[in-house]
């Protein structure tokens, strides 16, 4: 194992620990302690942190598809059959809404779906706090995952997932990589597709800040790096903070403690009239649900529940995600009268080349130069504060034309998964 690979494993372990996944922190540290182990061979062609995440996602996917039964015993997300994996990890209450299949356009641009979705305004609502405990010892981590130190059972296991202790997964994890490295490498193909639902909290907070600056008006929402387009439906999620709630009270996605500090202004509502995004490899939120789940850390039950709820919403709320790079998608961007055009993205900028970053920025700034009070343009993005550091924490930044003259304003600081967003 090279020093670069070991450093990448340990850095990602620290990120997982701080992000509330004692299981992944333990697996990555154990891997780093084996310089000649099977993980070193699998990662031999690249030490980057993104590759570490692809490795974890690939193994998780084998578990979810029923192809790693010995390891599945330690994964809280594991189900008795692959098809019901998404329904077995502490699901939130359902709303009884219809489940008409949502057909995402993954090949041609087509017309964006015009779906008006007015959110309910701020109303009093009790808030439940769910705190992740970060630990440096296995015994403390067992408590964080809900594991019984005597039996090894987990709280998620009661909901149908694996019932063995997640922190004892290393022997089975190591054996899988040692015995089936080619299969794991094949599953690692392609970039991670997290489509993290928690990042909707700062993004929607940013939308509310835009409404406060320009007055309430319909939103034309464009997302680059949209994956399955789950956050194009962010106005259908529920946000709770400090005893107040925003969004549909019966939403299957509830983001608790969404905003800390001085929260964004809770206006009367949001109306999104166009939901359109792009991705190099769009994901169908129905057909590719297991792939999306594979990139969620398996001992984070609340994130699994959010994803499950977001997939339920995606099945009934249309959005368009086209196969295109960010520069091509935004090449002809122009403001439109009577709506605010919002381009947003989250934790994808690092995957663009410097040339494409410059093209995207130029397209948005050109549209901004054409903006008027009746046709404003906004660039809202949640990206790492330090572009050169994969593990640096994100900040939410807003550029708004013509109202702010395109000035960059930092609105909030967040963890990598978006919740909670600490408003500045």
Q: Are residues 264 and 399 in the same domain?
A: yes
Q: What CATH number should be reported for the domain holding residue 299?
A: 3.40.50
In a domain? residue 110: no
Q: How far is CA 179 from CA 66, 69, 173, in A?
A: 16, 14, 10
- pTM comes to 0.78
224 by DSSP, 3-state: which? strand
Average pLDDT, the chain: 82
Q: Are residues 241 and 267 in the same domain?
A: yes
Q: pLDDT tens digits for 53-105? A: 899 999 999 999 999 999 999 999 996 444 455 554 433 333 333 322 222 23
180 by DSSP, 3-state: which? coil
- Burial (Cβ within 10 Å: 0-12, 13-18, ≥19) of residue 98: exposed
Q: 121-135, 302-316, 341-355: which range is least confident on average?
A: 121-135
Specify whether the CB–CB gap between 377 and 405 falls below 8 A. Answer: no
Q: Are residues 260 and 344 in the same domain?
A: yes
In a domain? residue 106: no
Q: Are residues 149 and 284 in the same domain?
A: no
Total tally of structural domains belonging to the chain: 2
Q: Are residues 154 and 222 in the same domain?
A: no
Domain C-terminal end among 187, 221, 251: 187
In a domain? residue 118: no
In a domain? residue 115: no
Give CA–CA dist 27/137, Å, rounded: 13
The pair phi, psi for residue 33, each rounded to 5°, is -80, -5
Give CA–CA dist 416/249, Å, rounded: 26
- Burial (Cβ within 10 Å: 0-12, 13-18, ≥19) of residue 372: exposed
Q: Are residues 288 and 370 in the same domain?
A: yes
Q: pLDDT tens digits for 166-224? A: 999 999 999 999 999 999 999 998 777 778 999 999 999 999 999 999 999 999 999 99
Residue with tokens 């990206």: 383
Q: Are residues 80 and 210 in the same domain?
A: no
Give CA–CA dist 147/315, Å, rounded: 34
Among 308, 304, 28, CA closest to 174: 28
Q: Are residues 181 and 216 in the same domain?
A: no
Q: Are residues 51 and 72 in the same domain?
A: yes
Q: pLDDT tens digits for 270-284? A: 999 999 999 999 999
In a domain? residue 119: no
Residue ranges making up the domain that contains 38:
3-85+132-187
Q: Are residues 245 and 290 in the same domain?
A: yes
281: left (phi over 0), alpha (psi -120 to 50) or beta: beta
């Amino acid at each position: 194992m090279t020093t670069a690979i070991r450093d990448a494993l340990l850095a990602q372990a620290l990120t997982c620990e701080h992000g509330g996944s004692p299981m992944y922190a333990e697996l990555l540290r154990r891997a780093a302690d084996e310089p000649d182990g099977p993980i070193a061979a699998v990662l031999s062609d690249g030490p980057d942190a993104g590759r570490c995440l692809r490795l974890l996602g690939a193994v998780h996917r084998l578990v979810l598809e029923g192809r790693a039964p010995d390891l599945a015993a330690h994964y809280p997300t594991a189900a008795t059959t692959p098809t019901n994996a998404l329904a077995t990890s502490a699901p939130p209450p359902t709303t009884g809404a219809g489940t008409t299949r949502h057909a995402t356009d993954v090949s041609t641009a087509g017309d964006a779906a015009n779906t008006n979705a007015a959110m309910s305004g701020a109303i009093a609502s009790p808030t439940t706090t769910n705190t992740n405990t970060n630990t440096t010892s296995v015994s403390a981590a067992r408590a964080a995952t809900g594991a019984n130190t005597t039996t090894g059972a987990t709280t998620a296991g009661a909901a149908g997932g694996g019932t063995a202790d997640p922190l004892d997964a290393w022997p089975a994890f190591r054996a899988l990589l040692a015995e089936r490295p080619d299969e794991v490498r094949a599953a690692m193909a392609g970039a991670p597709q997290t489509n993290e639902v928690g990042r909707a909290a700062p993004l929607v907070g940013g939308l509310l800040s835009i409404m406060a600056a320009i007055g309430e008006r319909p939103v034309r929402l464009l997302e680059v790096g949209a994956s399955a387009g789950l956050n194009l439906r962010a106005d259908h999620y529920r946000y709770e903070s400090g005893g107040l709630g925003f969004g549909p009270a019966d939403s299957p996605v509830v983001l608790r403690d969404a905003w800390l500090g001085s929260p964004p202004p809770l206006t009367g509502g949001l109306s999104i009239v166009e939901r359109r995004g792009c991705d190099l490899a769009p994901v169908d939120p129905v057909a590719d649900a297991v792939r999306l789940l594979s990139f969620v850390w398996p001992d984070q039950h609340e994130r699994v529940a959010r994803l499950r709820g977001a997939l339920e919403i995606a099945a009934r709320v249309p959005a368009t995600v086209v196969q295109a790079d960010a520069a091509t998608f935004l090449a002809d961007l122009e403001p439109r009268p009577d709506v605010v055009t919002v381009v947003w993205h989250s934790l994808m900028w690092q995957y663009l080349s410097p040339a494409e970053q410059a093209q995207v920025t130029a397209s948005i700034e050109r549209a901004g130069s054409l903006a008027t009070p009746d046709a404003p343009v906004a660039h809202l993005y949640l990206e790492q504060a330090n572009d050169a550091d994969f593990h640096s924490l994100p900040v939410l930044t807003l550029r708004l034309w013509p109202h702010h003259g395109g000035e960059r304003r930092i609105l909030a600081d967040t963890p990598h998964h978006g919740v909670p967003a600490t408003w500045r």
